[in-house]
Amino acid sequence: MIRENRPGMRASPPLPPARAKTRCDALGVAPFSDRAGSLFRPWLGPAHRATLEQVAVWMREAGMTVAVDQAANIVGHYPGLTRDAPVLLLGSHLDSVENAGRYDGALGVMLGIEAVAHFHAAGRRFPFAIDVIGFGDEEGSRFPTYMIGSRAVAGCLLPVDPSLRDAAGVTLAEALAEWGQTIETLPLARRGRIAAYVEAHIEQAPHLERAGQALGVVRGIASQLRYRVRVTGQAAHAGTAMGERQDALAASAEGILAIERIGASGPPDLVTTVGVLTVAGGAPNVVAGDAVFSLDIRALDPTIRDGAAREIVEALDGVAVRRGVTVTFEREQDLSGARCDAALAAALAEAAERVTGQIPPSLVSQAGHDAMVMAHAAPMVMLFIRCAGGISHNPAESVAPEDVDAARDTLIGFIERFGVPA
């Protein structure tokens, strides 16, 4: 139980309005970006290091002790009432894509710090510690890797090649060495005794904006399948009679429309996307002989996703037979999604409703997040914050100050009741 009215508890002075947002804005420029004039904060780079130094200052001001773990994650620790108290972990990622917005990732870390700052100012402790973590490598924007920071913490690292190189030719081993780490030390970042992981993040979709809601509670993160699809026909002169062609591009077009139709005919959280189409040797006067396109399939339920994949394979096989081309599928990625913990989601929804007066929508995240990795180590839940137009991975990324404060107050309310039987 939370002990109320403990000696030393005092009324908490209000936090500066939307400070989580203004701090993200401050982190949007050099030295917290490795680009002049835009935001790019790749994992283990100079901007990442400068960001951790600044975030450490804010964490200490909020009453936390600060450490950087073996995977270059920054961890602020706000002790609980006992030394061996379990840990409620709040966080998100601090790395970014190239030409990024300021709130994707960083906002979740800043909101965690604000929640702790609130309790620190009130002199309040809980039967659990509160740790705030800023992961790196969520975006995989420097090396062809993915979520190494959270994978190390959750204890589910995948084999990784230390000789992978970034765009400048620096190897992963060299980048880690600059931080005093190696591939072999990454697993030491693994954490135990995590009671729950809570990640606040901008929505990266327009559902909340359309619903007129500041906040949403995530019920799960979609599983993803990615293929490289090759359509092989016969390159021929544009004068070839229409009935004698094996046109790889026209066949791809028919296949892509079938993929769109299959995605649209499933449940709302099933989405199918072809984002890249390449025609080898394409020319205005040549019937295409070879086309390659990407295929991305996502759904919360992997059986729905896999069912759609089978339907797509059948549809494209039909196209191949009719048009005399061959179609091959090469699987490039199979990411399992994760369901949020139902009790945590209910508690977070109640906390959000107390703040906003609205029942927050239950959402499926189509984007991947550290939370899907952390689900391997602890029950987890995510809070989504409305972002203008659903735009992210873009300098136009925008959040409203009042939404940011609603998210902060929701986290505070959630923490106050965390671990208390309903």
Annotated binding-site residue numbers for Zn(2+): 93, 104, 139, 201, 393
Nearest approach, Cβ of residue 142 and Zn ion (Å): 15
Size of the site for Zn ion (CB under 5 A): 2
**CA-closest candidate to residue 115, choices 387, 351, 356:** 351
Minimum CB separation from Zn ion for residue 340, in Å?
16
Helix (H, G, I), strand (E, B) or coil at 9: coil
**Least distance CB 201 / Zn ion (angstroms):** 6
Nearest distance from residue 139's CB to Zn ion, in Å? 7
Nearer to Zn ion, 104 or 341 (CB): 104
Identify which of residues 112 and 289 has a Cβ nearer to Zn ion in the complex.
112
Residue 385 phi/psi, 5-degree rounding, is -115, 130
Round to whole Å and give the CA distance between 399 and 329: 40
Asked if 379 interacts with Zn ion (CB under 5 A), we say no
Region for residue 153 given its phi and psi (left: phi exceeds 0; alpha: psi -120 to 50; beta: otherwise):
alpha
Query: How far, in Å, CA of 402 to CA of 408, rounded?
Result: 10
Per-residue b/e over 126-153, b at no fewer than 16 CB within 10 Å? bbbbbbbbbbbbbbbbbbebbbbbbbbb
CB nearer to Zn ion: pick between 368 and 413: 368
The partner residues of 92 in beta bridges, in order of sequence, read 134
Q: Which is nearer to Zn ion, 21 or 230 (CB)?
A: 21
Point out the annotated binding site for allantoate.
226, 285, 298
Give 104 or 403: the residue with its C-beta nearer to Zn ion: 104
- Per residue, what are the HEC states of 338-381? EECCHHHHHHHHHHHHHHHCCCCCEEEECCCCHHHHHCCCCCEE
Cα–Cα nearest to 64, from 141, 148, 129: 129
Residue (104 or 350) nearer to Zn ion, CB: 104
Binding residues for Zn ion restricted to 243-262, rule: CB under 5 A: none
**Residues 69-128 close enough to bind Zn ion by CB under 5 A:** 104-105
Contact 383, 340 (CB under 8 A): no
* DSSP three-state, residue 291: strand
Contact 145, 172 (CB under 8 A): yes
Q: How far apart are CB 95 and Zn ion at their closest, in Å?
A: 9
- Least distance between Zn ion and beta carbon 202 (Å): 8
What is the 8-class DSSP label of residue 1? -
Which residues are part of a known binding site? 93, 104, 139, 201, 226, 285, 298, 393
Show the binding pattern over residues 37-56: x = contacts Zn ion (CB under 5 A), - = does not. Answer: --------------------
Helix, strand, or coil (residue 129): strand
Residues 262-321 close enough to bind Zn ion by CB under 5 A: none
Comparing CB distances to Zn ion, the nearer of 96 and 252 is 96
**DSSP character string of 72-88:** S-EEEEE--SSTT--EE
Q: How far is the CB of 122 from Zn ion (least distance, A)?
A: 30
Residues binding Zn ion (CB under 5 A): 104-105
